[in-house]
Chains A and B, each alone.
Chain A
Amino acid sequence: MSIKNTLYTTLFIFLSIVVLSAFVSNTGNSSKVYKDELNIHVLSDATGLNPYTVSDATSRRYVIPNIMQSMLYYDLQTMELKPVLAKSLPEVKEVGDGLEITYEIRPEAVWDNGTPVTAKDVIFSYKAILCPKVNSDNIKSAVDYVKDIRTYPEDPKKYTVICNKNIGAVEGTGYEINILPEYVYDAKGLLKKYTITELTVENPKCADDENVKEFSDFFNSQQTMREAAFVQGSGAYKFVSWETGQRLILERKKNWWGDKINKENIFFEAYPKRLVYVTINSFTTALTALKNEKLDFIYVTPVKDYVDLDNSPKFKKNFYKVEPVQLAYQAIGLNHKDKILSDVKVRQALCYLTNVDQMVEKVIYNKGVRTNSTILPMKKNLINPAIKPYPFDIEKGKALLKEAGWKDSDGDGVLDKIIDGKKTDFEVTYNYNSGNSLREMVGLLMQRSFHQVGINLTIKSLEWSLYQDELKKHNCQMWYQGWVSSPGLDDNKQLFHTSAANGGSNYMSFGNAKTDKLLDEIREEFDVNKRKELYYQMQVMEHEQVPYIFLYVQKYRDCVHNRFENINAGPSAYPGVWFAGFRVKKGYKVEN
């Protein structure tokens, strides 16, 4: 008796508490006065706020650009470089076989303690990246062609970067590197002992040095990742608080130096009082929160969910959609070392057999555009007009395969050919990383059209680490590949140069002397017209040699709350907007 009664009583108490709490805690949000903040959805929490040691997109692309600044930013729509910390675009001079890039820092630019941003801070920033024990592996490659920095005693705000000839140099030195205040990150001046040259060359002495060790221990520590005192920059916002896995808050600085610049470009506009990054790991949950106006901005990756949002009255009432094209493309990689795919005719045939238009329509619901080279559609003037995408044409594919010597000699429905003395069936495997249903769908669609000509396509998902391993070993025959490209100049040496087959990202083993030469030349060509001509040639190679079956460029699928305007949607920032520029429309009530 007693056990039974106790059980039931406890249960009853529990239930009543739940019901009660739902009514007590849920004070409605009927008043239409908004807080002066922008609630941004992030799918996974930031890992840290040190611009050199973190690598995840949330930290690097969502949060850090609002706290720290670099010399130049890319304009979101035009994709031209705009001066931010720099007074104007840098002066680039070719000196011998190298480059000299001279920057002048804006005279107004100051750190939070009022001291000006000077060349000393720039030099410190380069040293911190180059410092051997600092975990800056993700950004080291952006400065590996830098040889030295020259300063001018008469002008502490002027400096010249001396580096190898490389079209990426301006982007690398101006855009990639956020400048950090030396007085915060190296108060003791530990790195002063070494010059940049000493750090760039192999220098065993400096790796074991006590100062270097002390600095890197501090710089790699959690302090520079998440303690407000050691996360500082010249941007409009300062880092205030962070509950891991929940929300990260930035606050607008009251006296920001950029306010004096008078909105020269969008990067000097910063309206919301707070930027709140809310971590919600599932889109279903995030979209519910969005409809409930708990979020003001979301980039919806699942396409179907994004499309279906139009059916929700609550969404329609309070939000609008923005769809800037992404600066990233998707493609199917083909292994050129594979005994079946090494034949260029076979690769071209596969292009004819892949129904890309169908994929754009059915897989990404037309939220994207087709691309047929690494030069993406928004860079119109660089696209070779002579190149037309491969149409979906089964008969043409069949004919090419026949030319390449493939036929179904044994009548089992699968093409075959004698290769190296052995009868080989046309059986290839397509790999993608497990859990990505979009990539799976692409595979299934290919499987269907390949089947019609007698190609057996096996689809296999691999767990992420394993997938990476197999790609690096060049073990995959066909695979799904997504690349983010630069808003600036395209340098595909890491993708297509034969030297990148060993350790780089040329998982296809693509390339010959001609393409290598082209890639090298593109890298060093500073004349706009000549470079365009080289790009044209490279596109021809990409089209004829088929390193990838190029698929499409997706659109960002952003939703913004109705009260915001001045979104500045464009391809060159992730996720296609500039948060600080979000301005509340007239007619909406906002309180602190």
Chain B
Amino acid sequence: MSTNREIKQDYWSYVKRQFRKNKRALFSLYVVMFMLFIAVFADFLANEKPIVCTYQGKTYFPILKEYAVQLKLGKFPPELNNIIWTDTKFDFAIRPLIPYSPTSQDILNFGFVSPFGKQDVPSIRWRHWLGTEGIGRDILSALIHGTRIAFIIGLISMSIASVIGILLGSLAGFFGDKGIQISRASLLMGLLSAGLGLFYANAVHGLFTGIFVFILCLFIGFLISRILKKIPFLAPKTSLPLDIIVQRMIEVLVSIPRLFLIIAVVAISKPSIFMVMVVIGLTSWTEIARFIRAELLKIRSLEYIEASEALGFPKWRILLKHAIPNALSPVLITIAFGIAAAILTESFLSFIGLGIPPETLTWGKLLSLAQGGRSQLWVAIFPGFAIFLTVTLFNLIGEGLTDALDPRQKK
């Protein structure tokens, strides 16, 4: 056992070392980390509230206080409750680098004030460095705060998509239609419990209870199938046509218009950023699954896989350690592009009313603002650049990973 773990450690530290050798990938990783830093500390970089201020003789830390208010741990004093922060004169205040929140409306700079044009601001401290949008919201502030939303949505939704995609795709590609055998009892109970699971999940209230009930049904079905296996008629094994099933799932999902699915989701659930991620994740795994399936179709017949099989290694181990790492190149590219695509999809979902409320600007929304008219086309440049960065960085990291994981370079 202990040797096994050592080998494992060895492998990953080897991958790490390989990755570090790739200068470009490493640099990209650092830039992504920097963007993550911006995402985390966005509130302190761009905010209409001061970091520290004195108002009517008392000193406050409004940004920190805001966190407490959000968590229902504290309250703003009444005199600070309903003020417009940007318009309020404080006796003393240290304001963040950008003194605007992505929601603050600058009444004096309405209607897409350009970054180069004349701005109606009291001093250069209050300048909108990247201009404003229709009702005077600061674009730079929106970009900074948008980083957070973009990263959350891009990373989480693509994680959901990759887990599902890699799992189903590799099952279909590696095991094919005849690779997995299950007993008739399991097949029967599997179908039955899934059907009942759907029925009861529908009967109870709430999404999470529904999912819980569904899993519970599957589990009970599994337990019963263990007993049923004792019956001679139900014992014989049949092959589970995984490839057929997964392919049909993909075909069905791809064929139904996404907008249609989304409208249906809007109807049954309250809009939230969580739903956005789930919707994007659940609808964008198909490409990943198809790529990995295609690669595994090839890989499963390569000599080294057959050799490992002949040596009697368990199939799962072969799949995880030898087959999948070799098939990752197209998947990582897809994920890198997928992250950017997810960020763009968010704006469409907000448009439909599912997702981030309209008072908050996101990268995607900034982009679609440019669609409004000819006079504001320049707005698209900044989020476009942000998306360019995302695509490039994640592609380079993906490439670094592919190289590092490639066992052929191991010598």
Contacts and interface: CB of A to CB of B under 8 A. Distances in A.
Whether the complex brings A and B within 8 Å at their CB atoms is answered yes
Interface of A: 283-284, 287, 302, 304-305, 308, 358, 362, 365, 408, 410-413, 434-435, 437, 440-441, 443-445, 447-448, 451-454, 458-463, 466
The 9 closest A-B pairs by CB, nearest first: A413-B81, A305-B373, A308-B375, A461-B353, A362-B110, A462-B353, A459-B358, A411-B75, A463-B352
B142 to A, nearest CB: 13
A413 B82 contact: yes
A453 B358 contact: no
A461 B358 contact: yes
A435 B358 contact: no
A445 B110 CA distance: 11
B202 to A, nearest CB: 22
Given A302-B373, A444-B105, A434 B135 contact: no
Given A308-B374, A358-B107, A411-B77, 9 more contacts: A284-B373, A302-B373, A412-B75, A434-B353, A437-B134, A448-B84, A453-B82, A461-B351, A463-B352
A411 B78 contact: yes
Interface residues of B, number: 32
A445 B135 contact: yes
Contacts of A412: 69, 75, 81
Contacts of B206: none
B105 to A, nearest CB: 5
A444 B263 contact: no
B135 to A, nearest CB: 5
Contact of B372 (A362, A437, A448, A462): A437
A460 B357 contact: yes
A335 B374 CA distance: 37
B353 A460 contact: yes
A533 to B, nearest CB: 42
A303 B76 CA distance: 40
A410 to B, nearest CB: 8
The majority secondary structure among interface residues of chain B is: loop
B372 A302 contact: yes
B374 A284 contact: yes
Contacts of B376: 304
B100 interface: no
Contact of A463 (B107, B353, B374): B353
Interface of B: 69, 75-78, 81-84, 105, 107, 110-112, 134-135, 263, 266-267, 271, 350-353, 357-359, 372-376
A305 B350 CA distance: 24
A358 B76 CA distance: 29
Contact of A304 (B75, B77, B83, B375): B375
B352 A434 contact: yes
B353 A304 contact: no
Contacts of B111: 304, 362, 365
Contacts of B75: 410-413
Given A304-B112, A440-B358, A283 B373 contact: yes
Contacts of B69: 412
A408 B76 CA distance: 12
B353 A444 contact: no
A408 B78 contact: yes
12 contacts: A284-B374, A304-B112, A305-B375, A358-B107, A365-B111, A411-B75, A413-B75, A413-B76, A437-B134, A454-B82, A458-B357, A463-B266
Contacts of A461: 350-353, 358
B241 to A, nearest CB: 38
A249 to B, nearest CB: 29
Contacts of A358: 107
B351 A434 contact: yes
B334 to A, nearest CB: 25
B253 to A, nearest CB: 21
B369 to A, nearest CB: 8
Contacts of A453: 82
A143 to B, nearest CB: 37
B279 to A, nearest CB: 14
Contact of A444 (B78, B81, B359, B372): B359
Contacts of B267: 466
B135 A441 contact: yes
Contacts of A466: 263, 266-267, 353
A236 B59 CA distance: 77
A112 B291 CA distance: 66
Nearest to B78: A411
A304 B76 contact: no
Contacts of A411: 75, 77-78, 81
Given A284-B373, A413-B82, A441 B134 contact: yes
Contacts of B350: 461
Contacts of A451: 82, 84
A523 to B, nearest CB: 38
Most chain B CB neighbours (cut-off 10 Å) among A284, A413, A435, A458: A413
Given A287-B374, A305-B373, A362-B111, A448 B353 contact: no
Nearest to A305: B373
B401 to A, nearest CB: 30
Nearest to A287: B374
A346 B321 CA distance: 67
Contacts of A445: 105, 135
Nearest to A430: B358
B285 to A, nearest CB: 25
Contact of B105 (A410, A448, A460): A448
Most central of B76, B105, B266, B358 by chain A CB within 10 Å: B358
A308 B374 CA distance: 9
Contacts of A448: 84, 105
Contacts of B77: 411
Nearest to B105: A448
Contacts of A284: 373-374
Nearest to A450: B82
Contacts of B105: 444-445, 448
A37 B107 CA distance: 45
Nearest to A462: B353
A172 B111 CA distance: 43
Contacts of A447: 359
B76 to A, nearest CB: 6
Contacts of A302: 372-373
A181 B215 CA distance: 68
Nearest to A454: B82
A504 to B, nearest CB: 25
B78 to A, nearest CB: 6
Contact of B373 (A304, A452, A463): A304
Contacts of B359: 444, 447, 459
A452 B84 contact: yes
Contacts of A434: 351-353
B87 to A, nearest CB: 10
A410 B75 CA distance: 9
Contacts of B84: 448, 451-452
Nearest to B271: A460
Contacts of B263: 463, 466
Contacts of A283: 373
A444 B103 CA distance: 9
Nearest to A410: B75
Contacts of B112: 304
